Amino acid sequence: MSVGNSIPHDSGLGHVCGESVFIDDRAETRGEVHVGLVCSSIACGDLIEIDASEALRHPDCLGVFTAKDFVHKKWGTIVHDQPFLVEDKINYMSEPVCIVASRTRDSIEAIKHLVKLQEKAAAGIFTIQDARKNQSVIYRALKPFVQGNVDQALKMAPHKLTGTFTVGGQEHFYMESQAAVIYPLENGQLEIHSSSQHPSETQRTVAEALGLSLHQVVCVVKRMGGGFGGKESQAGPIAAYAALVAQKLKKPARLILTKDEDMKITGKRHPFQNEYEVAFDDDGKILGVKVLLQSDGGAYADLSASILDRAMFHFDGVYYLENVHIDAVCYRTNNHSNTAFRGFGGPQGNMTMESIIEDIAHFLKKDAAVVRLRNLYQGPNVKTPYGQNLENNMLPEIFRQLITTSEYEKRRVEIDKENLKKTGVLRGISITGTKFGIAFTARFLNQGNALVNLHLDGTVQVSTGATEMGQGVNTKIQQIVAHGFGIESGSVQVMTTSTEKNHNTSPTAASSGSDINGAAALKAVNKIKVNLIGLARKKFAGEVSSALKEYELEQNAETVPLDPNFIFQHGKVVELSTKKEISLKELISIAYQNRVSLGAYAHFKTGGLGFDKEKVEGKAFNYFTQGMAVSEVSVDEYTGEVKVLRVDLLMDLGRSINPGIDRGQVAGGFVQGMGWVTTENLFYDERRNLISHSPTTYKIPNIQDTPREFNIHFIENLNNDCNVYGSKAVGEPPLLLGSSVWTAVKHALSYRSKSNMVNLTSPATGEVVLMELTRLKRSP
């Protein structure tokens, strides 16, 4: 059976052979125009004038377009506050100001340089502190999450710590930059090919920008060369720039950002500065914690509000907090507008508690794993700070198994001993965890639809709103559909995503792409099966013999449940009670001859959700994907260099649909998380020009940086009955476990400090580690 097998990724071969088609692999069509963006060279101030006269004299220049050319001037997912192009106010460095159209790609740069911008700089806000001082706010939590009585706990507690947890942003570093090709069709219609996680929003953004109706715009997404959240909202304006040129010049238009442009223009993960007070007893049990989460939203709102919410939802991490107060605010600054990034604020919340626990352990001179166990969510039905019960709590079992299989205790003792020797290398070890809430916290997004076509040879084409960005959603949907029909996975083809086939789709995000679209596809499959079963029942009962008569199905596939007396397997349909069987292909042929539908459309919504932000109650998440990791690092005391020696990772993924793909997601997510907290650092010069804007200056993990020993295991859990085939979402959760590398560094540094708290910021780059080591050694 297909579900549960590690069949290869449906594009695996294409990727390694170079045959997979990304946006810029599309063949150039006749008359195609190349599009470029001219961007601001100040971070804050006024745009006085655009002088395009020289550019327009360039022989390859076909036009220069400005904000005036857009019908609607602004875009945005939640609020429309971000200008497509600067009108008068410049709000961040490298903000798009105008669009150039060129006959050839080679001339784009030359034409761009001929456009002269007159700008007048003003003082901007670039830090969370400055924004706070100026009360420059994008969004404030509607209401804090409160349980128990924190003030009381803080007053009475034997021990108290206060501090600030500081964590940096992160560049998505997808392999394929933001890209779009637009084909103008008849009657003003446009066909958009976009590298987008959110085709429906790209369709809407383009339509609004150009004053078109939604039925005039189709957005097609074959695949992305990585998205990681960066192509959820931000693919929209990119498509709109190219679409404007296509519409104005009535020619196909192509916009492909260079890596440098992409890194400078587009938003990144939100940096956070979280201020906390925590009270605890001699055993390390947390008696109360109060936190203010503060994020840098950048110049515009984008998805910052939902990201801040998710940070609040994940502050508790895997720890039960009896007395807790979580408040949050997102500031407006003159930085690039920050956006979704794998984890969606969750990592920034989750890691704060892990850092606090590391501090408590150091303060009490205890093993941090002991303190963690002391505070871990225990029992099957414990309450989170936002009032939702944690059902099917796997955390204690994951903790127990992982501590054993990773030989944590033995290694910890050894590290204690080793670090007494002055070798110049410190070692540290740490376990961290996550319970990642699966569902969009905006309830309306938890829906999807699917179209399934069963063809006469018994093969199937399926279309959903899910977009493939490498995560394997197509392969999982392929398996779900094949399993439903009881056929080989090779007989199912997942078709290109298009708003023409699937409408009003949600972004492929919140890790719920295969949950929602897989469930919708299965629903559509089941509708077809209801018809086929009805037919088989009649056929087996011999109800029709005359060639002139037709089997007629009086049932409605929408409402009839699947009859468990019929099973689809090995390409056959079997009636269990009579053991009669028929090949699926023959049944399909009979269905066609008898005019029975072999295609179905289905809509799915995740049931039971409904979180009330004003009352802080209700069900925010469908379920939690849970996992933990133990990381061991070495820190070179002379250079500050961190090496990840060993990682043991244990995840609860329910009944995995494809364990091979899930393993890839876990390894990739972990390493991406690890990069965020160790080497990936965004540097800006004094003008706020991003100077780490290419692979030479922005350090993502390479193969040498990955854990020397990397053990990934899944824990058995057959109980997740609220998701398709008992599976659990995998995309984002493992990223949060990368924090164990950072806490392990913090643990290593604690050996150089007797009484001082280790004051480590994230990312723990070589220089950050070295400076903290120096500080600790100076004042022991």
| Cα–Cα distance list, 693 to 92, 485, 699 (Å) | 15, 48, 10
- The stretch near ligand QUE (CB under 6 A) out of 3-11, 38-46, 408-416, 436-444 is 436-444
d(CA 247, CA 184): 7
732 is catalytic: yes
When asked if residue 226 is in the footprint of ligand MTE (CB under 6 A), the reply is yes
Residues 719-748 that bind ligand MOS (CB under 6 A): 732
Per CB under 6 A, the list member of 11, 91, 197, 202 interacting with ligand MOS is 197
Nearer CB in complex with ligand MOS: 165/174: 174
507-526 binders of ligand MOS (CB under 6 A) = 509-510
121 binds ligand QUE (CB under 6 A): no
User: Which residue, 377 or 624, has its beta carbon nearer to ligand MOS?
Assistant: 624
Q: Site for ligand MOS (CB under 6 A): which residue of 84, 145, 280, 341? A: 341
The residue (of 184 and 738) whose beta carbon lies closer to ligand MOS is 738
DSSP 8-state code for residue 174: -
Binding flag, residue 598, ligand QUE (CB under 6 A): no
Residue 427 binds ligand MOS, judged by CB under 6 A: no
Q: Whose Cβ is closer to ligand MTE: residue 299's or residue 307's?
A: 307
Question: Which two tokens mark 577?
Answer: 């009670």
The residue among 640, 704, 639 whose CA lies nearest residue 675 is 704
Q: For residues 368 and 445, which CB has a smaller minimum distance to ligand QUE in the complex?
A: 445
**Residue that has been written with the tokens 């007396």 in this structure:** 565
Residue with the closest Cβ to ligand MOS?
229
Confirm if 439 and 620 have CB atoms less than 8 A apart.
yes
DSSP code of residue 608: T
Bridge-based pairing state of the strands 159-167 and 89-90:
unpaired
**Choice from 232, 358, 359, 662 touching ligand MOS (CB under 6 A):** 232
State which of residues 325, 342, 483, 747 lies at the interface with ligand MTE (CB under 6 A): 342
CA-to-CA distance for 487 and 318, rounded, in angstroms? 41
Query: What is the DSSP secondary structure assignment for residue 5, as one 8-state letter?
Result: S
Q: Rule CB under 6 A: which of 440-469 touch ligand MTE?
A: 469
CA 551 remoteness from chain centre: 48
CB of 195 to ligand MOS, least distance (A): 13
Q: Which is nearer to ligand MOS, 267 or 317 (CB)?
A: 267
Q: Give the pairing of strands 617-619 and 610-612.
A: antiparallel
Q: Tell whether omega for the bond before 763 is within 30 degrees of 0, i.e. cis.
A: yes
Please tell me the count of residues contacting ligand MOS according to CB under 6 A: 10
Residue 249 near ligand QUE by CB under 6 A: no
Of 563, 562, 565, 568, the residue nearest 583 (C-alpha): 568
Q: Is 232 in the site for ligand QUE (CB under 6 A)?
A: yes
Rule CB under 6 A: say whether 450 interacts with ligand QUE. Answer: no
**Gap between the Cα atoms of 63 and 55, Å rounded:** 9
For tokens 């996550």, the residue is: 434
Closest CA to 206 of 332, 362, 75: 75
Closest CA to 536 of 584, 479, 606, 472: 584
d(CA 505, CA 510): 14
CB of 475 to ligand MTE, least distance (A): 10
Q: Which residue is nearest to ligand MTE (CB)?
A: 513
The residue (of 208 and 468) whose beta carbon lies closer to ligand MTE is 468
Tokens 């070890």, located at residue: 429
d(CA 727, CA 723): 6
CB atoms within 10 A of CB 660: 16
| Pairing of β 447-454 and β 460-464 | antiparallel
Region 505-534 residues binding ligand MTE, contact defined as CB under 6 A: 508-514
The residues of the shown chain that bind ligand MOS, judged by CB under 6 A, are 197, 229, 232, 340-342, 344, 509-510, 732
The residues of the shown chain that bind ligand MTE, judged by CB under 6 A, are 226-229, 342, 469-471, 473, 508-514, 665, 668, 729, 731-732
The residues of the shown chain that bind ligand QUE, judged by CB under 6 A, are 77-78, 232, 303, 306, 310, 340, 344, 440-442, 445, 507, 509-510
The residues annotated as belonging to the active site are 732
